[in-house]
Structure 1
Amino acid sequence: MATEIDKTQVRDAATVIVLRDRRTSPRILMGQRGAKAAFMPNKFVFPGGAVDAADHHVPLATTLADPNTDRLSEDSTPGLAPALAVAAIRELFEETGQILGTPGEWDAPPNDWHGFAATGHLPHAEPLQFVFRALTPPGRPRRFDARFFLIDADDLASEPDDFGQASDELSHLQWVGLDEVRSFDMPFITEVVLSEIAARVQDRTPPASVPYFRNDDEESLFLRLRGTPMRD
């Protein structure tokens, strides 16, 4: 039986914001969590989830572009960046059916990657742009140290309107215009992240620093990650 400490253990997580029609009528991919979900029930969210143990052992066909790894490494577990990229790509596929991949064949895909491998693609991390980090406040039934990644729909190897391979974890998958997204029932942190995305919608370069909304047991801080790796 899980203890209360187990239930509230902070888990590393990755979330993907897919931006479409950036130059003309920007839209983002969102879905609704189920009413019985333990974490953020009924809320509209971006696809994402916790890093699994197997994510540390899945090879990437392409690596994260600079300076993402440095910024992911700041105030973080050494060597975690590739696993975060893997988790982001896996969760995007599982929850939406969308493929962030490059053509290639697997030797022996892990169980969670059989569906992805069957599409004839390998995980493609290069388009992922680290844009936000947030730690779930204490007292929640689940706590995540979530890293938010931004990609353009043009980076996908799949048809953006085809959700046929998605699991049932998110319902009402849809492309939501940035000018109408505020009318959806979203978590507070999702609204904060959307403000950052709206401010950067015409800028495809990595941010000079990454916002970090840290809610620990003592205080809440809004920090900036500037790519200084954690020192021993």
Structure 2
Amino acid sequence: MPPTDPHGDGPERPMKDAATVVLLRDTDHGIEVFLQRRVNAMAFAAGMTVFPGGGVDGRDADTTVRWAGPAPAEWANAFDCDESLARSLVCAAVRETFEESGVLFAGSGDDVVADTAEYATARQRLIDRDLSLAAFLAESGLTLRADLLRPWANWVTPPPAPRRYDTRFFLAALPAGQLADGATTEADESGWFRPEDALADAEAGRSMLMPPTWYTLAELREFGTVADALAAQREIVKITPTLERDGERLKVVLEGR
């Protein structure tokens, strides 16, 4: 008999691993974060304002990916998972960020890509699943730059949700010369926001944020620069919000937070 959902009547929903990248840049008014509003037709988090990211693809575990920076073993230690999954999560983070925002954490030698325009065709092929990340990097003579990412958090979709994700959050600075765009069919709006402004929009009802996004933005507003955020010491603890009914409203409870 399949395990039951402790918050519902049916079987427990299957969990999918996912990666999300919190993309930051410095401005004269403080740090800004790149956010996208998901189109209403999306099966998960429709209409929500989110960071770029998505589910792990089977090909993200390809060990032939050209790699520089912390080894999978270090990411496995940070996220408390095995090395194969750790490799997949980093690759998914790089791939999804490129697909959804055009930002690419890769380079040649010691140089990071400064203009991703020449890889527009490859970007679309990645989106269409006609090309794997490993093949794209090999064909382009590029190496994945895991050193540009930082482990930040681990959030799990609560059991009542019809789709559940075990999502690892990464932090990264926008590489010099690159531009983040909204050229994705998964979002109808994209842009840069100060964390406090994004939170104010949500509080005023102008946008909708999921608990992990809200909590992350609240953490980020405490940092003055991107370097400060990237240097923060993080203990990654798996967080699963609990939904409790308060009259006609559902309240999100974060145990120990």
* TM-score interval (norm. to shorter): 0.7 to 0.9
Q: Provide the residue aligned with 2:215 in structure 1.
A: 192
Q: CA deviation at 1:159?
A: 2.1
1:190 Cα deviation after fit:
0.7
Which amino acid is 1:170 matched to?
Answer: A
In 2, distance between residues paired with 1:92 and 1:5?
33
1:70-122: CA deviations, max 9, x gaps? 211x2x34532111100000000111111111127xxxx97243667776533
Partner residue in 1 for 2:131: 111
Aligned to 1:144: 165
Whether the aligned pair in 2 keeps the contact of 1:31 and 1:172 (CA below 8 Å) is yes
Change (3 A) 1:90 1:195: same
Structure 1 residues 83-122: aligned runs within 5 Å: 83-103=88-108, 111-113=131-133, 121-122=142-143
Deviates more, 1:95-104 or 1:197-206: 197-206
Q: Against the structure 1 CA distance between its residues 77 and 116, is the aligned structure 2 distance closer, same or farther, given a 3 Å change threshold?
A: closer
Give the deviation of 1:201 after TM superposition.
Answer: 4.8
CA distance in 2, matches of 1:89, 1:177: 23
Q: Which has the higher helix share?
A: 2
Give the number of the structure whose alpha-carbon radius of gyration is greater.
2
2:112 maps to: none
Q: Which has the higher contact order (CA 8 A, sep 6+)?
A: 1
- Correspondent of 1:205 among 231, 252, 256: 231
Deviation at 1:43, TM superposition (A): 0.5
Distance 1:36 1:162, change over 3 A: closer
> Percent identity, aligned pairs only?
27
Report what 1:62 is aligned to: 68
Gaps of 5+ in 2: 1-9, 110-125, 202-206, 243-252
Q: How many residue pairs align between the two structures?
A: 207
CA RMSD of aligned residues (A): 3.0
Which residues of 2 match residues 126-205 of structure 1 at below 5 A?
Answer: 126-153=147-174, 155=175, 159-163=178-182, 166-182=183-199, 183=201, 184-202=207-225, 203=228, 204-205=230-231
Q: Give the conservation status (yes or no) of the 8 Å contact 2:155–2:238.
A: yes
SS in 2 for 1:80: helix
Distance 1:32 1:116 in 2: 29
